[in-house]
Structure 1
Amino acid sequence: MNETNKYAEKAMKYDMLANYYKYSDPEKHVMYYQKHLYAMQNWMHSMQFQSARMPQTQLEPGMSKVRVIHASPDAPAVDIYVNGKLTLQNVKFKQISDYLQLPAGQYRIDLYAAGTTNRPVLTDMYMLLPGITYTIAAAGNLSALRLIPFVDRTFVAAGESSVKFIHLSPDAPAVDVAVKNGDILFKNVPFLEATKNVKVEPGRVDLEVRIAGTDNVVLTVPKVQFKADTAYTIFAVGFANGTPPLEALIAIG
């Protein structure tokens, strides 16, 4: 993970923790808020350092991009409200929204069972930083549903492609992701973790998801097409031991 993304993720995480403890534990609120400010300072410095050599983004100044994936296998379809406004409607398990371009800043996200507004399934606060692209995953079983943010690295060098893996199967163990009869791309990835992007050769490839450290294949992902000049994310969703079953979703970004 590059320095810019690392500090962006830390700033967002500490902002969330500061808000979580705002009323229940003032000491922790102050501690995490200070950590948030420190990460923000480092992020701004990193952005200034890298601005001359980073690819130009498609974002206007002061904007960020965010998409949502419904990855909770036993949760109903949901309506998603951003700062009280209906933004995504009837989002079902395995659906991934398009990226939304939003002004950087703090947002409240409410999830309601589709077609209802009386009581949110989940409410959370997020700080979106300018120039950063995010995926927010509604993940876990319904009884322990969480919104988990990930920073997406959507730009690649000309002629290249890259991929990262996000483990969103609530009952699956840590896994390795490998090319069939080839190299391991990602090792020992646990639930709710995302890997860094790795460069892959453009073309078609068969992938396998294995229990970490073993040759036990729990999911095959055949004929994955990687195109040049494109970054991809592979999401593992569903249940390893139940219905809906484990499967891989592949998205650009």
Structure 2
Amino acid sequence: MKTKYALPMVLAGSVVLSGCWLDDDDDPATTSVRVLHASSDAPAVNVRVNGDVVVPGADYKQAAVLTPGAGLADIAVDGLLPSGATATVISADGVSLRADTNYDVIAVGKVGDETIEPLILTDDGARDDANSARLRVVHLSPEAETVAAGPVDVYVTAFGDPLPAEATFSFSFKESVGPLELPASDDYQIRVTAAGSNGVVFDSGQIGLPVGSDLLVGAVDNTVFGSSPVSLLVLNGAEVSELLDIGTGAGIRAVHNSSAPTPNVDIYLNEEPDGSPAATDLAFGETVPGAPSTGEYVPLDAGDNRVAVTATGVTASTAIDATLNFANGDLNTVVAAGVLAEGLDALVFADNNRRIATEAKLRVIHGAIEAPTVDVFLIPTDAGGAENTLIGNSMPALDDFNYAESSGYLGVAEGNYVVFITSADGATVLYKSPSLNLEVGGVYTAIARLNEGPESVATVTLMDDFVPVIE
């Protein structure tokens, strides 16, 4: 299949932010400052200028364009912590801003190894041809630096051309190149290799560079799916789009969450139910891939994919037969839930496994149709252990949580917790977990289901970092 992209593309999960801190009494001369969050393990941040928050809550891969008065400015970036507090991760005091210069202030590096810092680029906007495609390119990926063991070579060619003998340019982490002016065309291809190597680690496929475009392209850590260490962020003003390696594909995993009388099941991916199942004899509460690989995915091509579920060994009828459309880079958990006699539900949830150095990420999915509305409590474990931990007067983390809903990823402070699932009025405890240790940088998913044992009405299927990896 021939896939073609045009730059700049539509927004890919990014939020456009804007702001201004020019007071009426200040010099009317202004400049342009674009702020980009490019630190892959950092939380959402506030950007402060001269002590005032001018960009609140910018997340990874988001950008803001600001129009301050020319002169000196103190710029700081504060990480947002799960407690509601903030921690300053970048401080750049006395930055000189000229009216005839555009600035890019980029949060680069990582919080976890304390390498996060501001990278400030300047640009006068000059160009020789108003109809050309103008590019500036910056290396913002510490992961690519590690994988390549040094600099990378970048090849910008006509689509389908073999790699030339010489790269268009080479650069290292935190270096930038440009501006480059290229003839506008919809027939380009960008490929990246380790310096001196022909092994391509990123391939854009066919892309277009529009007439008159003025783009900043940043190579950042790939935090979605696939083997490429990088993706490309394309900034056009405050608009941000993400370009993934053309071969990234999509990932899927599945959970059998429909209780008896639903039998064990077979799962077919893009196969007729009388073909070869991708997974067979999956029991209630089990996952595909199974432990210890519940953080892994079955790879699929982007586009439409058929998912069919049958009783094990039964090919005459399907309990689920759905066509799901996945974009390049999508990760999804599919939960087979509901009641067999009424037709099973295929509940599809988008996964976001980016790890954040300052918090744990916890997601709860309600997959137990037997308890359609519940409350969920997340209580720090008592010093005496889980058995002594009680709900007390705590407020629910998820109030009136309904079947087929997801909490999304909740930022949680590191520590030990007990999860309670109760009736919607909080009066009846349906499930109480053992003490669960949530670590910073961890990603955790718990899927509520019926407990077929005697202890409580509900239990959970644990995925991601709840399941230890066995070497």
TM-score with structure 2 setting the length: 0.41
- Select which of 314, 319, 342 maps to 1:121: 319
1:206-231 per-residue CA deviation (whole Å, 9 max, x = no partner) reads 12111224243221112112232111
Cα pair distance change 1:139/1:83, threshold 3 Å: same
* Residue 70 (structure 1) aligned with residue 263 (structure 2): no
Work out which structure has the larger RCO, using CA pairs closer than 8 Å and 6 or more positions apart in sequence.
Answer: 1
| Higher strand residue share | 2
Q: Quote the residue 2:355 is aligned against.
A: 156
Q: 68-77 or 192-201, which moves further after superposition?
A: 192-201
- Distance in 1 (CA, whole Å) between partners of 2:452 and 2:263 is 19
Unmatched runs of 5 consecutive residues or more in structure 1: 1-42
Is residue 57 from structure 1 mapped to residue 256 from structure 2 by the alignment? no
Could you say which residue in structure 2 is the equivalent of 1:196? 408
Inter-partner Cα distance in structure 1 for 2:330 and 2:399: 26
Over 3 Å counting, the alpha-carbon distance change for 1:215 and 1:153 in structure 2 is farther
Contact 1:70 1:138 in 2 (8 A): yes
Distance 1:68 1:244, change over 3 A: farther
Q: Distance in 2 between matches of 1:71 and 1:112?
A: 14
> Does the CA contact (< 8 Å) of 1:171 and 1:239 recur in 2?
no
Residue number among 319, 328, 350 corresponding to 1:130 in the alignment? 328
Q: Residue 9 of structure 1 corresponds to which residue in structure 2?
A: none
Change (3 A) 1:81 1:173: closer
Instruction: Give the letter aligned to residue 446 of structure 2.
Output: I
CA distance 1:89–1:44, change in 2 (3 Å): farther
Q: Is the 8 A contact 1:185 1:198 kept in 2?
A: no
Post-superposition Cα deviations, 1:78-132, rounded to whole Å, max 9, x if no partner, equal 1111110421111110001122122211011111211232332321110112222
Q: Is the Cα–Cα contact under 8 Å of residues 236 and 246 in structure 1 kept in the other structure?
A: yes
**Among 279, 304, 326, the residue aligned to 1:88:** 279
**By how many angstroms is 1:245 displaced?**
4.3
TM-score by length of 1: 0.74
| Pair 1:116–1:207, CA change in 2 (3 A) | same
Aligned residue for 2:304?
Answer: 106
The amino acid that maps onto 1:112 is T
Distance 1:119 1:150, change over 3 A: same
What are the ranges of 5 or more consecutive residues in structure 2 without an aligned counterpart? 1-8, 17-36, 39-59, 62-220, 227-244, 290-296, 380-389, 466-471
What corresponds to 2:127 in structure 1? none
**Structure (1 or 2) with the greater helix fraction:** 1
Q: Distance in 2 between matches of 1:196 and 1:95?
A: 22
Asked if the contact 1:169–1:239 (Cα under 8 Å) also holds between the matched residues in 2, the reply is no
Taking the aligned partners of 2:331 and 2:408, their CA distance within structure 1 comes to: 14
Moved more, 212-221 or 108-117: 212-221
Displacement after TM superposition at 1:205 (Å):
1.4
Per the alignment, residue 22 of structure 1 pairs with none
Over the aligned positions, Cα root-mean-square deviation in angstroms equals: 2.8
Distance 1:127 1:242 in 2: 40
Task: Give the whole-Å Cα distance in 1 for the aligned partners of 2:374 and 2:338.
Answer: 17
Pair member with larger Rg: 2
- For residues 396 and 417 of structure 2, the distance between their equivalents in structure 1, rounded to whole angstroms, comes to 13
Partner AA of 1:224 in structure 2: L
